[in-house]
Structure 1
Amino acid sequence: MLNIIAHDNIVELNLARPPVNALNLELLDALCTAHDRAIADGARGIVLSGAQGMFSAGVDVPALLGLDRAGVMTFWRAFFATCARLARSPVPVVAAITGHSPAGGAVLSLFCDYRVMANGPYRIGLNEVQVGLSVPECIQLALRRVVGAYRAERLLIAGAMIESEQALAYGFVDELTAVDQVVPRALHWLGELLALPSRAMLTTRTTARADIGAAFADVDALPLDEFVDGFFHPQTQAVLQALVARLKSKG
């Protein structure tokens, strides 16, 4: 479900839940645990990666639809807690976006310090609106600080999925490279950052990321009840059920 790979003082957390690295409660919990353990063991940087061609397809919607309200609440709290881990990580984190990255996969990448994406016909975006989900302010903030307010508004409201070249042009990702070079380039960028005087770099980083850190200072203060209410809205449920039916018919 999660491969943990040491690269000297950098730890790679590699999503390994075939076929599409869909995010379920177990994977989110594993990510949080591995992040915390890496920090405790002295890691100076973290790379979050996926499989070639697929970073993460986002939330495991079929599994989520089978849960009652308490189960759905537990899942979404774990999702936002994972976002908080990345947003408030004491060490730099790079998203090695090894392929497609819709919805939840794109969200996780936004909380990282830097994003390297595979060049090619791969798409990334917050397509929540297309599947009937609203995007909460704490996630909108993450996109705004990366692409700017106007571009974020256009992408979010349309639920747009954009290809890698456009993602680079918009500033959604920082760098494109061949799919087999995504992790090496992520490690290279992180290595150069870690070569800087550590106190000055980390202090400046904390200041630069203070807004996103403050937004996730207390996961339980986020509007989780309101978000879960939206998840159970009849229109949202209808759209999600139709999505799952389409996925099953393709399978």
Structure 2
Amino acid sequence: MLAHRISNGKGPRMTGKPLRVQVESAEDVAVVRFANPPHGTISNGGAADLVAAIRPLLAAAETRAIILTGGQDGIFIRHADVRQIATSLERVGMGSVDPQAFATSAFAELGAMLDAAEKPVIAAIDGLCMGGGFEIALACTMRIASPAATAIGLPEIRLDIFPGGGGTQRLSRLVGRHRARLFMLRGDVMTASQALAAGLVDEVVPCALDRALELAGMFAGRSTAAVSAILRLTATDEDRERLAAEACRFGELGLTGEALPEALFQFAEGDVGLETMR
């Protein structure tokens, strides 16, 4: 029933070309779909579009639960735009960008907004979800995956970088520091069932979006005050400084003197995804 109501709700809202953020809402649940064809990566512009789409929903009294999902078959958010990362690090090396700017980027703003949300935000992962895409999912209230999510993880180390969009802190919060360290040092990429066993996702079901709609409907039926209180009182401010330090440390990779941006540009030119690297 809820899925039917969503499909007949307000029409999709498109933002940017070719990047698309679609918002579908009906009654008290909103579905936000992200797409950036053909590869499904996300840039800071994409993160800004998600902030612009989700922030009004968090403020709207009539919206009581939000679902974030992918708008392309087989992709949630594949990973961050590696070309943009390479360009940014190159500019840091040239002195035209301050590493501190990474802590105030749209990507950082998106993660902080989701962390602080006082409404449930469910990541419905029906496809590839790595790197920056998984960091966004980690900032959500919960994560539901389907078998179509054949690659979930933080494989940045394979490109000689590290998760700089909140991954070091939010993964540690989720599974513990030791397991998170090993996961990132290995650059692990998992199937949905492996991610469930590792505690990275909360459920694996045939269709993540269908299950997310069911859960969103349940949350929407609860007391708004009680739900908000639970989310507010279980939030933590302890990670803020560490998240900022993580982002700045990521930016400082551009100061190492290594040929890092060049390697990242080569990867971007190769037209492949992180799931193909070992």
Both structures adopt the same fold (TM-score exceeding 0.5): yes
- Distance in 2, Cα, partners of 1:100 & 1:110: 14
Match of 2:29 among 10, 27, 38: 10
- Distance in 2, Cα, partners of 1:225 & 1:119: 35
Match of 1:65 among 69, 86, 89: 86
- Secondary structure in 1 matching 2:124: strand
2:124 is matched with: 96
RMSD between aligned residues: 2.6
1:182 is matched with: 208
- For residue 192 of structure 1, what is the amino acid of its counterpart? M
Which protein is richer in helix relative to its size?
Answer: 1
1:36 is matched with: 55
Greater alpha carbon shift after TM alignment, 49-58 vs 146-155: 146-155
Question: CA offsets, 1:206-240, max 9 Å, x none?
Answer: 222x22x5424898x54544321114532432431
- Distance in 1, Cα, partners of 2:181 & 2:242: 25
- For residue 226 of structure 1, what is the amino acid of its counterpart? R
Percent identical across equivalent pairs? Answer: 24
Q: Runs of 5+ in structure 2 lacking a partner?
A: 1-19
- For residue 243 of structure 1, what is the amino acid of its counterpart? F
How many corresponding residue pairs?
Answer: 244
Deviation at 1:243, TM superposition (A): 1.4
- For residue 245 of structure 1, what is the amino acid of its counterpart? E
Match of 1:122 among 150, 166, 184: 150
- Distance in 2, Cα, partners of 1:112 & 1:151: 20
Question: CA offsets, 1:184-223, max 9 Å, x none?
Answer: 2111112212322332232122222x22x5424898x545
Deviation at 1:31, TM superposition (A): 0.6
1:198-237 equivalences in 2 (<5 Å): 198-208=224-234, 210-211=235-236, 213-216=237-240, 221-222=244-245, 224-231=247-254, 233=256, 234-237=258-261
1:48 is matched with: 68
- For residue 188 of structure 1, what is the amino acid of its counterpart? E
The verdict on how the C-alpha distance between 1:195 and 1:214 changes in structure 2, with shifts beyond 3 A counting, is: farther
Question: CA offsets, 1:12-68, max 9 Å, x none?
Answer: 110021113211122111111111111233221111100231111211112343453
- Secondary structure in 2 matching 1:82: helix
If the length of structure 1 is used for normalisation, what is the TM-score?
A: 0.86
Task: List 4+ stretches of structure 1 deviating above 6 A.
Answer: none
- Distance in 1, Cα, partners of 2:21 & 2:255: 30
- Distance in 1, Cα, partners of 2:110 & 2:165: 16
Greater alpha carbon shift after TM alignment, 53-62 vs 239-248: 239-248
Aligned residues of 1:22 and 1:58 also touching (Cα < 8 A):
yes
- Distance in 2, Cα, partners of 1:172 & 1:190: 19
The verdict on how the C-alpha distance between 1:58 and 1:236 changes in structure 2, with shifts beyond 3 A counting, is: same
